[in-house]
Amino acid sequence: MNQPIDLAVVGATGLVGETFLDLIEKKKIPVGKVRLFASEKSEGLKRTVCGVDRPIESLKAGCFDGLQLAFFSSGDDISKEWAPQAAKAGAYAIDNSAAFRMDPKISLVVPEVNANTIPKTPSIIANPNCSTIQLVVALSALKKFGLKAVRVASYQAASGAGKLAQQELLSQTKQGLTQDLTSTQFPVSLAFNCVPQIGSFNADGLCSEEVKIQKETKKILNLPSLYVSAFTVRVPAWNAHSEAVWIELEKEVSREQILAALHDQPGLQINNEIERYPHARMADGQDPVFVGRIHRDSEDTKTWRMWIVADNLLKGAALNGLQIAERIFAR
Amino acid sequence: MNQPIDLAVVGATGLVGETFLDLIEKKKIPVGKVRLFASEKSEGLKRTVCGVDRPIESLKAGCFDGLQLAFFSSGDDISKEWAPQAAKAGAYAIDNSAAFRMDPKISLVVPEVNANTIPKTPSIIANPNCSTIQLVVALSALKKFGLKAVRVASYQAASGAGKLAQQELLSQTKQGLTQDLTSTQFPVSLAFNCVPQIGSFNADGLCSEEVKIQKETKKILNLPSLYVSAFTVRVPAWNAHSEAVWIELEKEVSREQILAALHDQPGLQINNEIERYPHARMADGQDPVFVGRIHRDSEDTKTWRMWIVADNLLKGAALNGLQIAERIFAR
């Protein structure tokens, strides 16, 4: 990545878009043109990227011309309409929405897991769901032992629901405990609560976040018939998602083998000393996927349980997208 | 329960003890003598129960003489020393600590599940762990379909760690997000976080809350070889524990059969309309165990998933204890 890249960020004023721009500066990615897109209400605002003031623009025909990379994090509808145009204009369109993830023609990429699926020519590349990414980084390490079933209960932070949601959690929390709090960003008030709904429900009683984890995990791991059952819950954590995971393996393996496999997994950091498990506050702002509380299920010798935590804005979104870009432009 | 009961509450100044006393008033339980015990630092304080000021006393030899009921919620050590003395003095000693729960000679009772095990003469009766009680009320309903495996991830409120812990969550929350908060009541700061440790760890990597749920559930359901795997996590909820549960049955049953069985279960309230699931804020201060998000696992037709929520101070502790007493004195 020595040649400057001409790029666009669509959704530049959202939490993930801002995190992507922060990462470009922090990791000193060489950039040329940087075009920032957001909704019309942000038009006319400016944002400094790599020392240069850049205007916030609205999307319009031809806006991706001459760019090599476009990072999208602005919702499914915007991506459906504009990501194909970016790809057609010759840019790699790394899309953080759910619009293309399950499209069989589109690669769904976590670089440490399936970098081999990154396309060789400009096209749309899907960035997986935040809670999926941290899960598959750990699962990938154990795939060689034969994955039989994966059950995950998630503890997902407010930041996954966006900037307004974080602000709402804060104001609800300040209003305290006794009042009947109103909620617009969450289905019910999240302050001092747990809400077992992320997204909307389907006819089978699953919410969309659960469907995402289940389908995306199978696709990324290239294990279409793997048992993956996810129960997703929003908790009043500020940032970083946590997951309690049961991993049932085909065969019995030793604790040393499990730890060695996880240790060798790029992108994964083991914090497994007693009482030194990872947690959301410590993962906030950190790049790796953290794993701790790694232990054999007392009820089944082939099942391993662990606690997986990652910053959902970083590895769960912007950082994973940037890592895909780094793989592309390192070629 | 028409004859006034002479009773003691040991741990009368703790969250559970106070809840027990509140319930006696609210449910108009006829009481005669009421003796309140707490640690020496509370001696000399008073508390009004049923309109009468009662002194807080320290435990001393003979203090249970003439009483018919003693409710203990003051930690394992106090119960180990004093509950046998209460029983010897002729009182039913309902013990909310973990001291006797797994003793094969002691009944571990959730009245809606195994009231038949309540002893006929004054003795120690163990009140199960909070997160176990709400789980077994729901599992009991499904036992007739053959329970094969139960996996539960918990979302446990600050109140389960006591009054000081609730105060610490509040002050940590007020201190906000940016500071590195100190913690004395939780292993790490709970504010805007999730902490995968409740109790201390054993050599197998399980924390004591997990061991409690696993062992107590088998004992209460009288299914010693049932697969029960619990992953317990403290979350910044104020009060009421939530559980994401996978229940694997021996046979395939219809949705109607599951709902009918849960509907017929005493102590259980179904809130299963779409987007009308139970949550900690709504269960706070309520008697029932609430169950919602009842759905077949998309990955296995014999597995059912549900979300179980209950007030851990009420059904999870004081209310369950009082219900045991009601069964005893209704005889």
Q: pLDDT (tens digit, 9 = 90+) per residue, B254-309?
A: 999 999 999 999 999 999 998 899 999 999 999 999 999 999 999 999 999 999 99
- Whether chain B has a CB inside 8 Å of the CB on A208: the answer is no
The tokens describing B12, both together, are: 């009368």
Asked if residue A138 and residue A187 are part of one domain, the reply reads yes
Asked if residue A159 and residue A38 are part of one domain, the reply reads no
Asked if residue B160 and residue B25 are part of one domain, the reply reads no
Asked if residue A264 and residue A150 are part of one domain, the reply reads yes
Number of separate domains in chain A: 2
- Ranges of chain A with pLDDT below 70: 1, 176-182
* Predicted confidence (pLDDT) per residue in B108-165, tens digit: 999 999 999 999 999 999 999 999 999 999 999 999 999 999 999 999 988 888 888 8
Asked if residue A246 and residue A146 are part of one domain, the reply reads yes
* pLDDT average, residue stretch B24-36: 96
What is the reported pTM? Answer: 0.91
- Whether chain B has a CB inside 8 Å of the CB on A192: the answer is yes
The residue among B194, B198, B308 with the most chain A CBs within 10 A of its CB, best to mutate, is: B194
Task: State whether residue A106 is helix, strand or coil.
Answer: coil
Asked if residue A122 and residue A259 are part of one domain, the reply reads no
Chain A segment 125-184 residues within 8 A of B by beta carbon are 149, 151, 153, 155, 173, 177
CATH classification at residue A303:
3.30.360.10
Provide the CB-side half-sphere exposure for B125 (13 A, CA): 29
Per the CB < 8 A criterion, the answer to whether A69 and A94 are in contact is yes
Q: Quick check: B178 pLDDT over 60?
A: no
Q: What is the pLDDT of residue B180?
A: 58
Phi and psi at residue A8, in whole multiples of 5°?
-130, 145
Chain B segment 209-228 residues within 8 A of A by beta carbon are 214, 227-228
- Residue A101 CA to residue A321 CA, distance in Å, equals 13
- Residue A184 CA to residue A168 CA, distance in Å, equals 8
- Residue A86 CA to residue A92 CA, distance in Å, equals 7
Q: What is the pLDDT of residue A322?
A: 94
Asked if residue B100 and residue B62 are part of one domain, the reply reads yes
Q: Is the dihedral of CA A174, A283, B203, B307 positive or negative?
A: positive
- Tell if the CB–CB gap between A205 and B294 is shorter than 8 Å: yes
- Residue A254 CA to residue A67 CA, distance in Å, equals 50
Asked if residue B243 and residue B173 are part of one domain, the reply reads yes
Residue B194 is nearest to which of A151, A228, A279, comparing CB atoms?
Answer: A279
Q: Residues of chain B with pLDDT > 70: what percent?
A: 97
Asked if residue A12 and residue A145 are part of one domain, the reply reads no
Burial A12-30 (b: 16+ CB within 10 A, else e): bbbbbbbbbbebbeeeebe
User: For chain B, what is the mean pLDDT?
Assistant: 93
The residue among B192, B273, B299 with the most chain A CBs within 10 A of its CB, best to mutate, is: B192
Known catalytic membership, residue B50: no
- Whether chain A has a CB inside 8 Å of the CB on B300: the answer is yes
CATH classification at residue A16:
3.40.50.720
Please give the interface size between A and B, counted as residue pairs whose CB atoms are below 8 Å apart: 146
Q: Give the residue numbers spanning the domain of A98.
A: 5-127+317-329
Asked if residue B118 and residue B201 are part of one domain, the reply reads no
* pLDDT average, residue stretch B78-95: 98
Could you give the C-alpha distances from A250 to A142, A281, A298, A303, A318, in angstroms and in order?
11, 34, 17, 9, 34
Per the CB < 8 A criterion, the answer to whether A25 and A50 are in contact is yes
Per the CB < 8 A criterion, the answer to whether B66 and B40 are in contact is no
The residue among B166, B167, B174, B193 with the most chain A CBs within 10 A of its CB, best to mutate, is: B193
Q: Which of B116, B115, B122 is nearest to B94 (CA)?
A: B122
Q: Quick check: B81 pLDDT over 70?
A: yes
Could you give the C-alpha distances from B288 to A188, B116, B312, in angstroms and in order?
20, 21, 11
The residues, ordered by sequence, that sit 6+ positions from A326 with a Cβ below 8 Å of its Cβ are A1, A29, A111
Biggest CA pair distance of chain B: 60
Asked if residue A110 and residue A50 are part of one domain, the reply reads yes
* Predicted confidence (pLDDT) per residue in B179-205, tens digit: 556 677 778 788 888 999 999 999 999
Asked if residue A145 and residue A36 are part of one domain, the reply reads no
